[in-house]
Structure 1
Amino acid sequence: MRQVCLETQPVRLNNIFCIGRNYVDHIAELKNETPTEPVVFMKPNNSLLQSGAAIVLPHFSQSVHYECELVLLIGQDAEGFGDGDNPLDIIAGYGVGLDLTARDVQGRLKEKGLPWTKAKGFRGAACVSDFVAAQKLTQPQACGFTLHINGELRQHGHTDHMIYPLAAVLQELAASYGLRTGDVVFTGTPAGVGELHSGDRLSLDLAGLVQAEFAVA
């Protein structure tokens, strides 16, 4: 059974949802088209890697990229939202994580029109911090997160730059797939993605509230 940690309490992991192409500057750096609705993909639960663990680069890729993201932990089931509902109310906690991507594999799969699962779902491809209780992040749609590698700032994202804000992301996921307690949602990465290399040391931070550390084997 896979678990994540909310404050000091273990929470059983359910699904791992990911939102792609949610920051204009990241779309530009990869020369992708701007989506007309949230781009949703999933990672298998076996891809979960918690802070402090070693990232093992997959043997089938020569170009694994980091993508630092705000991550949501869902605390209530939801099939949809009414006019008076605030979708953010179902968030139990916020964290920071890495959506690791085998970019060379993804490129080959996209050229053939095939799914991205091998590029996005390998073991250790969903790196997450512990989660801080939702009420502690008072402005989730106006907060910053960072990734440093070997002490150098590589990504600095601001959630107010999202194309699809958190409420819209949750509305889409709830309506199309249903959300359950223990679901985790990666919400998209800003510009600055790049390759990981053996020996790299990664430090992630969300608004000074929660951090994560990873080392590449």
Structure 2
Amino acid sequence: METSVAIILKRCTKIPTAENYIGVDKGALTLARNGKRMLLAIGDFDSVEERDLSCIKDYSDTFIQLNPIKDDTDSEAAVMYAIEKGYQKINLYGGLGGRLDHAMINLRLVSRFCETVYLHDENNYIYSLGEGIHSIEKYDYTYISFFTEDESIITLEGMKYPLSNQKLTNKDTYTTSNEILAEKGIVTVHAGKVTVIQSKDA
């Protein structure tokens, strides 16, 4: 089974190339209008016209319409579906910008599902790392920053501002705007987990 899936949210402006898609709310409509087959279309679809629902259903293997009165966001419901189906890498597109509360939920999904949920937009690539030694590719991003929701201990190698067995807390801000010096840098997480943001200016 293919182990990765792209979840397209309603603010996604460019559809990435992927083998498997899940469409969320207007993201499902974007996929359908571009002829992309979906494993799942999910959401309360409160921002989708009734006439467009049939188009979404035609392009989805499974269609789930959620009650607008619910505890989980549409993106969280899509992530949980993908995890239950065994997908090991879940790429979220269109989850930044727009409503800040929804962006915060998507950032928390990244932290909650370490090394599983990856959040993308045109200028940012966000994911979390658990304990271990991680080789990080620079790609075309200029900066790399590190945050933790609790506490962690990290070592950074091959970066402009290296660290050695440094304790990091959720109050620290000095780990922003670092840079990978060559093609790759090394991040060792000795304890806890960290959220990584690779970014570039627009």
TM-score, scaled relative to structure 1 = 0.22
Question: RCO (CA 8 Å, sep 6+): is it higher in 1 or 2?
Answer: 1
TM-score (norm 2): 0.23
